[in-house]
Structures are given as structure tokens and as C-alpha cells.
Structure 1
């Protein structure tokens, strides 16, 4: 096993698949998290036993085909946390990808390799998946644009599932203009002109963040309000202590679904896992259908809250992560505590199926921290329009 910093791409020879000779993404390169099928190439899902026990795919995942058909060139598969179970980015088998924006620190996961490759400039775009935060978190820690799409908006065909009622496809870029080009292809619609919108600032979410992160995001929130043409309105997402309850219940439901996804394979293959992954799967196996039903009931209350806040067209903002990239080499109990803090910020969009875009607008202690914007279902393109407007505003000063 390996636990040292390693390349963003899977070990072995790199390969290139040319995209269409013309198209809106011609001239750009992309990488795919090793949950996405690429025809003729094994899909390893971050675990050697998964690769060993699954056939080599004969067709590309929908997202891979879509980018190739739009003219982008595929330059490789990237490291992921094992079977996508991880939020901080480490992998004991293939090494933990570097965080180019914060050397010596974790990149965030489970789309760690994809974020690392884009941040390093090894490709222009990288595909990831987001179940519990696996695009949003590495985008924040590596200083990238990263979108969790509306649940069900992007076909998941040809992607290794984890928890189907949470799984989404997303992607990373370094700049908003490139992100917008990809969005038009992936979402199948033009990015709209920016329209004024109310801005909601979730003060209970900001209260969960380190002071240096709150300070780093203060000016970006003001800029966001100017771009949207409305003064920010401070509010709370939930009653006191309720964000922790949402996080715990989301965790139960997601893990229950994940166990149902993987249990037959585990039973048949008896695969080898890193301790933290095996432990979390063992915990998941103990959750009952009754516990999952209770968590699903809470989801309906979270969804109702999201509808009240956002269905009318408002934009919600909150810190993507409560801290900047943690250093490599932390003991497991500290990593667990960090993961729990992250979960309190990522569970709202996950439970409600909302689009959430992390923007690389903050810098704290020399390391990036993302500001997230959320909208109602299907308004992914609206978030991308806001990102473009923010980038233009920053460039123009």
C-alpha cells in the first residue's frame, strides 16, 4: 500500500483519446475520475480488487462520450478514494494526489485526482462525481470551480454508483470561462444572461467555518451581492443544532444506500480495503431499513426548506468547506473530525438534490477556500452565469 503524495493520474502508461475534430470544446483536454468508464480501459474505482473483478468496459460513460464528441481530448484516468468513499482525498493503494494549491496538504476527495490534475495544469477539465461533497470539497481545497449538478440532471450511465439518490456528475476547471463552455455541453443549454437575484447568506453555515475562512470570504460575498444587484440578506438554514442532525441523517441514508450497492460484490469477492473504508462499510452494514426510512423522512423536511428559500429564484451562499486544506499525515481520528465538520456544510444540497457551485474566491493563510452558491433544481446554468459575472468583475476590478 502507498500513503505518500503521488501523481493525480493512475499508475501506468498515460493514454490519449482524441475528440471530434470540431466542436465547442476543441483544443481542450480533460481527465476522468476512475469511476467513469472508458472503452477498452479498466475502471478501477480506486481499489485493485474492484478492477480485478469487473470486466473492462466496452463503451464510454455518457459524460466521457459527450466531452469527446464536443471536441475535448481525454488525457487519462485520475485517482479516486476507494469506491468513492472518502471526502479528504487519500488512497492507500495508489497514493494521495498532490494539492498544487496547498503543497503538503490533502486535496479533498473523492474526486481528488481530478482536482489535482486541473490545479496542476495537466488538463483543462476533469470529470468528478459528487455524492456527499466529492466535487465541492476538492474544488474548495484546490482553488477550482467545481459543480455538483442538480440530482439526475446529468446521466450517470457508465459511472460506478455509490448512493443512487445522492450520486451526481460534476466537473472542475481553473477559470469560469472554460467552466461555462463545458456547462453548455454537459447541461445541453446555453448559459443565460445574468439577471438580478436575491442573495441569502446562511449565517449558521458561516458560523461553522474557521475565523480565517469567514474573513477570507467576506469580500467575495460583498462582490457577489453587487453582481446579483441585491444587498445580502442574512438568514439561517436551520434551527440551532439542526445542521448536525441533517448531517447525521444524511450520513445514515447515504451509507445505507452505499452498502446496498456494494454488499453483493463484497460478499463474492472479499476485497481488500484500507482500514477507514472497511470500518465505514461495516458501520453501514448495521444501519436498518427503519433508520434509512427515518432519514428519508427528514430529507422531505430539508427539501421543503430548500423550496421555501430558493424556488422563487434566490441564490444561497455558504462556505464550501469550513477550513482550508489539512496537512498530510494527520491521524485517523483527526481526519474523522474534519470529515464530520465538512458534512454539516455539504448535506443541505445533497439531501435536497440542489445544484451547488464552489467558486475559488477565498484565500486564507495562503491556501484557497471556496465560496458556494446554490440555486433551486435545474438552475445549474444560472449558477454558471453568476460565476462568469464574478470572474469578469474581479478582472475589471
Structure 2
């Protein structure tokens, strides 16, 4: 019952039957409370977001696509407030439990969606990923999760945070359901894994705890063997670049977030948790020069991604630098953990390439994900790798 009440929004459970037939018939799905469901308020994890807004007249594109494919909607799930969080807590709605690591944070901001799937209350769940909000909970809850190529899946009917970063993704416990959902959402089935080098980013691995590295390196070798070789050690950036990418990604995302929510804040004066209000305030204070510098760096990162991946290579990094942190940590400790995560999630966010988190690692009984990144548009190939690894 803890998992059931904590993952979903409070109140009567929202359920909508899917089409009588379809590729997802028999599967249950949940949707993060950023996705519109016709006739029901979209709360975005904030008690004042829906106030004064008309009820959605139609489902978000992704919700409708899954219903049309035969899946049954079994509820809307808790999100970090305004999707501005990476560890999964919400001061208003509560923190969804992590069934894969009891007593620990689930990761966010798609925390409720990951929690519902990990608890077996849904087979697949929709989430969004701007700064890591599918990849991180997938890693901490032991799930498959994809941040697709930016713009690949329609964001119609989804609450925007930072438009140049926002993506719609999904979770599943098993590779089969994950690939089936992907075929619907991406509009193409999982592709063959293909052959090509697996680039193992040593500087990204060095950011992870030693136990996480030890758990993931053998799994990276499995992926490399599937692709026809051994891991090829390399550096993702020059010394110190990953830290710069993390900080400048935060600049751009916060600047866009402030632009998104500014008028609503002016009009409504909403209730906001301190950490959310603080980060919005940081975005409001950014100068045009700071934003221009971050945008210039983004161009450098995108060219780096093209050089590494456009020829068919797959990049391998840890999804998160650690397993699920315990509940009850003070805010300064949570901030430090969020900053560490951002060092690993910023590459895909800045470049728009797809990133898949695979539930392949275990450390002291808690899951941790291995991430694979490909060039833009190669989402289906990543799904094919996931399916092939699962046998």
C-alpha cells in the first residue's frame, strides 16, 4: 500500500481503457502529472498550477498514442514540483517510495512514474526528461528508461519546463514491454544492434563511486561484445570540461525555466518549496552575457557529440554516479548529490542525443544504471541493444 499510495496522486484513481486491440493490449500504463488527460486537471506537482486553468480538452499526444495502441491508463503519478528536481522529492505531494531500494529516494522528477513501474503497479509509465528526469529514476529504481532524441516524441499536451531540453520518455521493468512501447511512441520498431565501437568515457566513469564503476564495467564489456568488440577507453571532454558542461547546462535550463514560469508566478504568486523558488530566482538573475556564454559552450559540446557518434559509435557512461540516496538528507546534501548527477546528464541534454539507461548494475543490493548514448535519431537502435542484452 505504501507504494500504491505514494506513487500516484491522492484521491480516486484515474483509469481509462485503451483500444480493444493493439500492440500494447493487456499492458497498463501510468502518466506523470505533467501530461494532460482530458477532463482532469494537470497539477505539475504544485498546489496552485491548475488554479484558474481550464480542464484539458484532450489527452497529451503520448497518452493518446498509448491508449490507441491498446494500453490502459491506470493513474497519474507524482512529479517533482514543476518538474524542477532530480532526486524525486516533493514538499507538497510527498516523496514516492523506491521499491527497488526501500527507505531511499526514487530519483526525479518522474519519480512517481518510476515508482509505479518498479512496484509492479504499471507495466510502462510516461515521464519527461529535461535534466535527467527519466534517466536518473530509471537508474535508482532499476528500470529501463529512455531520454529520446530531442523533438523525436511530440510534447503536445505536456507542461513545458525548458523547451530546448524537454523530452517525453518512458519506463518499463522488462525489455519486451519497453520495446513495444517504444515502437508506438517512436513510430518504428526496435532496430538491430548493429556493429560498431563502444566508447567507454573514462572521465565520466571517474565521476562515479568506485563500487558503481566496479559494477558497471563488466556490463559495458557485455555491450561491447554484442557490438562486435571490446570497450574502447576514451575521454568525453578535455580535463575539467564535464564540470563546465554541467554548470553551463544548468545556466541554460534555469534561464529557460524562468522564462516559462515567470508570467504565471507574477499572476498567481504560487506556493513554492524553498528549493524550487531558489532555483527559479537563480534563473531570474542570470544575465544575457551568462546565457550567451553557455549557449556558445553548447555549440562546442554538440560538435563533440557529432565527432564521436555520427559514424555509428555508441557512448557508454554511468547513468548516475551513485545508487539511491537515503531519505531524510538535509537540503545542502541533496544539492551536492544533484550537482554530481548533473555532471553525467548534461551531455545528452546539451546535444539532444538519445540516452538509454539499462538496469544492469547492483551495489549492496541497490540498482544502478548503465547508460548508452547514440547519434540523433538512433533511438530504435538503442532499444534493439536493450532487447538483445535481455535475451
After TM superposition, is the score higher than 0.5?
yes
Equivalent residue runs for 1:69-218 within 5 Å:
69-218=68-217
1:272 aligns with 2:271: yes
Give, in whole Å, the separation in 2 of the partners of 1:389 and 1:192: 10
Deviations 1:339-373 (A, max 9, x none): 00000000000000010000000000110000000
- 1:212-258 Cα offsets, whole Å, 9 max, x none, are 10011121111111111121100001111110000000000000000
Unaligned runs of 5+ in 1: 393-397
Distance in 2 between residues matched to 1:42 and 1:165, nearest whole Å: 25
In 2, Cα distance between the equivalents of 1:279 and 1:257?
15
What does residue range 281-360 of structure 1 map to in structure 2 within 5 Å? 281-360=280-359
Equivalent residue of 1:128, what SS? strand
Per the alignment, in what secondary structure is the counterpart of residue 291 of structure 1? helix
The equivalent residue for 2:366 is: 367
Deviation at 1:278, TM superposition (A): 0.8
How far, CA to CA, are the matches of 2:91 and 2:210 in structure 1? 32
Q: What is the TM-score when the length of structure 2 is the normalising length?
A: 0.98
Q: Tell me the residue number matched to 2:245.
A: 246
CA deviation profile, 1:282-331 (whole Å, cap 9, x unmatched): 11110122211211111110000000000000000000000000000000
Instruction: Specify the alignment match of 2:49 in structure 1.
Output: 50
Give 4+ residue runs of structure 1 displaced > 3 Å after superposition.
none
For these two proteins, the number of residue pairs brought into alignment is: 389
Rounded to whole Å, the distance in 2 between the matches of 1:38 and 1:5 is 20
SS in 1 for 2:286: coil
Distance 1:54 1:292 in 2: 31
- CA shift for structure 1 position 16: 1.1
* Secondary structure of 1:229's aligned partner: coil
C-alpha distance in 1 between matches for 2:272 and 2:229 = 50
Q: Residue deviations 1:24-59, cap 9 Å, x none?
A: 000000000000000001000000100223221011
Q: CA deviation at 1:197?
A: 1.7
1:395 — aligned with what? none
Query: What is the rounded CA distance, in whole Å, between the counterparts of 1:190 and 1:87 in structure 2?
Result: 30
Offset at residue 190 of structure 1 (A): 2.1
Q: Secondary structure at the match of 2:51?
A: helix
CA change 1:259–1:17 in 2 (3 A) is same
| C-alpha deviation, 1:5, in angstroms | 11
Q: How far off its partner does 1:280 sit?
A: 0.8
Q: Which runs of 5+ in 2 are unaligned?
A: none
Secondary structure of the 1:321 match is coil
- Summarize deviations over 1:254-290 as a string: whole Å, max 9, x none: 0000000000000000000111111111111101222
Q: 1:19–1:67: 8 Å Cα contact kept in structure 2?
A: yes
How far apart, in 2, do the equivalents of 1:15 and 1:266 lie? 29
User: 1:5 & 1:87 partners in 2: Cα distance?
Assistant: 21
Query: What is the alpha-carbon distance in structure 2 between the residues aligned to residue 128 and residue 194 of structure 1?
Result: 25
CA distance in 1, matches of 2:127, 2:52: 23
- Equivalent-residue separation in structure 1 for 2:62 and 2:291 (angstroms): 30
Q: What SS class does the counterpart of residue 322 from structure 2 fall into?
A: coil
Q: Which residue of 2 aligns with 1:389?
A: 388
Partners of 1:269 and 1:53 in 2: CA distance: 9
Shift of 1:6: 5.7
Does the aligned pair in 2 maintain the 1:6–1:96 contact within 8 Å?
Answer: no
The alpha-carbon deviation at position 193 of structure 1 amounts to 2.2
Q: Distance in 2 between matches of 1:325 and 1:255?
A: 25
The alignment's C-alpha RMSD in Å is 1.1
